[in-house]
Amino acid sequence: MIRGGLVRRKRWPEIVKWHMGAVKCVDRIVDRYIEDKFLPDLVLEIITKNRVHENLDLYSVQNRLLYDIRQSIFERVVRQMVKVAMREA
């Protein structure tokens, strides 16, 4: 009986405090992952859906390099725009 009272008064609040801290930490990690990784990738996939179906073998080597550079710049810009939009929302 005494032990149960001790647990309820002393240990239980500590356990609840640790649990709430863990929940907040996991929420922040998930939010950060969604904002920084998942949504930018999803938007890029939606915008550049034709990239999967494009055949670059017909282009010259220079045009392929230019296409890859353009695509990487485009991905960076879209990722940054999505991150800014998510933080403002």
With contact defined as beta carbons under 8 Å apart, do 71 and 51 qualify? Answer: yes
DSSP 48: T
The identity of residue 48, as a single letter, is: T
Packing angle between helix 61-88 and helix 39-47, nearest 10 degrees? 130
Average pLDDT rounded to a whole number, residues 10-34: 87
Q: By residue range, what is the domain housing residue 43? A: 2-88
Query: For residue 82, how many C-alpha atoms fall within 13 Å in the half-sphere facing its CB?
Result: 22
Structural domain total, the chain: 1
pTM score of the predicted model: 0.51
Q: What is the pLDDT of residue 85?
A: 79
> Does pLDDT of 24 surpass 90?
yes
> Does pLDDT of 10 surpass 70?
yes
DSSP-derived 3-state class of residue 60: coil
The identity of residue 25, as a single letter, is: C
